[in-house]
Amino acid sequence: MTFNGVAYSTNAIIEGQYTLWGYEHIYLSPNATSVDIALASAWGNTILATPTAQLYPVLNYNDVNAVVGRNGDGLPIYPNY
């Protein structure tokens, strides 16, 4: 499958030519307990640190966002260099 005419590849993802990410949102109730907050924090840190198993070489959020970014879901991708 192509995105804006660009075929899938690890380099295309890293360079922002092929988008392959969305944003996860963790919402906490104003009534969240300290256990709820700790669980949400641990879960968020795990998501950030876990590589995407379907890519080779495996990449995680920080690998991709070191060179490209976007200001929200569906917005244009821009280089960070």
Question: 36-79, pLDDT tens digit by residue?
Answer: 999 999 988 887 777 666 556 666 667 667 777 888 777 787 88
Residue identified by tokens 């490209």 is 68
Predicted TM-score (pTM) of the model is 0.48
Count of H helices and E strands in the chain?
A: 3, 4
Domain containing 37 equals 2-79
**DSSP helix/strand/coil, 40:** helix
> How many domains does the chain fold into?
1
CA–CA separation, 58 vs 50, rounded Å?
9
pLDDT at 23 over 80: no
Q: Provide long-range contacts, Cβ within 8 A and 24+ apart, for 67-74.
A: 67/14, 67/15, 67/16, 68/14, 68/15, 68/16, 70/19, 72/23, 73/22, 73/23
